[in-house]
Amino acid sequence: MESICTENLCKNYGTVKAIDNLNLSVHAGEIFGFLGPNGAGKTTTIRVLTTLTRPTSGSVSVGGYNVKDEPDKVKKMIGVVQQHLSLDRDLTVRENMEFRARIQHLNASKRKQRITELLEYVELTEFADKMVDTLSGGMKKKAAIVCSLLHEPKLLFLDEPTVGLDAQARRRLWDFVRRLNKDGTTIFLTTHYIEEAEVLCDRVGIMHHGQLIAVDKPANLREKVGSIVVETLVDNKETHYQFFANRESANAYVKGLPADVKTVIIRESNLEDVFIEQTGEKVGGQ
Partner 1 sequence: MNLFSDIYSVFWLDLRVMGRHWKSLIATSLVLPLLYLVAFGYGLGRGIDVDGVSYLAFVIPGIVALTAFSTSFNGASSKLQVDKMYYKSFDELLMSPVSSYAIIIGKALIGVLRGAISATAIYLAGLALAPTLLVSPLSSLIFLMLMLLSCFVFALFGVMVALLIASHHGMSNFSTLVILPMTFLCGTFFSLNQLPSIAKAVLYFLPLTHSATLLRSTVLGLPFPWLSFVGFLIFGSAFFIGCVFALKRSSV
DSSP summary character for residue 131: B
The rounded distance, in Å, linking the Cα atoms of 136 and 82 is: 17
Taking CB under 8 A as the criterion, the residue among 71, 128, 174, 195 binding partner 1 is 71
| Among the listed residues 124, 213, 129, the one whose alpha carbon sits nearest the alpha carbon of residue 172 | 124
Stretch that binds partner 1, among 22-30, 82-90, 121-129, 261-269 (CB under 8 A): 82-90
Question: Beta strands of 166-237 (E only): which ranges?
Answer: 186-191, 203-208, 211-216, 228-234
Q: Does 112 bind partner 1 (CB under 8 A)?
A: no
The rounded distance, in Å, linking the Cα atoms of 128 and 120 is: 10
| Total of chain residues touching partner 1, rule CB under 8 A | 31
Stretch that binds partner 1, among 64-72, 186-194, 197-205, 218-226 (CB under 8 A): 64-72
Q: Which CA distances in Å does 280 have to 149, 205, 245?
A: 39, 17, 20
Q: Does 3 bind partner 1 (CB under 8 A)?
A: no
Measure CA 20 to chain center.
19
Q: Does 7 bind partner 1 (CB under 8 A)?
A: no
Output the smallest distance, CB 273 to partner 1, in A. 34
Q: Which CA distances in Å does 77 have to 59, 143, 211, 260?
A: 18, 19, 27, 60
Stretch that binds partner 1, among 76-84, 170-178, 179-187, 224-232 (CB under 8 A): 76-84
Taking CB under 8 A as the criterion, the residue among 5, 28, 91, 128 binding partner 1 is 91
Taking CB under 8 A as the criterion, the residue among 53, 125, 242, 249 binding partner 1 is 53
What is the number of other CB atoms lying within 10 angstroms of the CB of residue 34?
29
The 123-162 contact track toward partner 1, x by CB under 8 A, reads ------------------------x---------------
Q: Does 65 bind partner 1 (CB under 8 A)?
A: no
Terminal Cα-to-Cα distance of the chain (whole angstroms): 38
Output the smallest distance, CB 212 to partner 1, in A. 22
Q: Does 75 bind partner 1 (CB under 8 A)?
A: yes
Cβ-contact 92, 129 below 8 angstroms: yes
Q: Does 4 bind partner 1 (CB under 8 A)?
A: no
Residues 6+ apart with CB under 8 A from 55: 9, 10, 11, 19, 48, 67, 68
Taking CB under 8 A as the criterion, the residue among 26, 35, 40, 78 binding partner 1 is 78
Question: Which residues contact partner 1 (rule: CB under 8 A)?
Answer: 50-54, 67-68, 71-72, 75-76, 78, 80, 82, 84-91, 95, 98-100, 102-105, 147
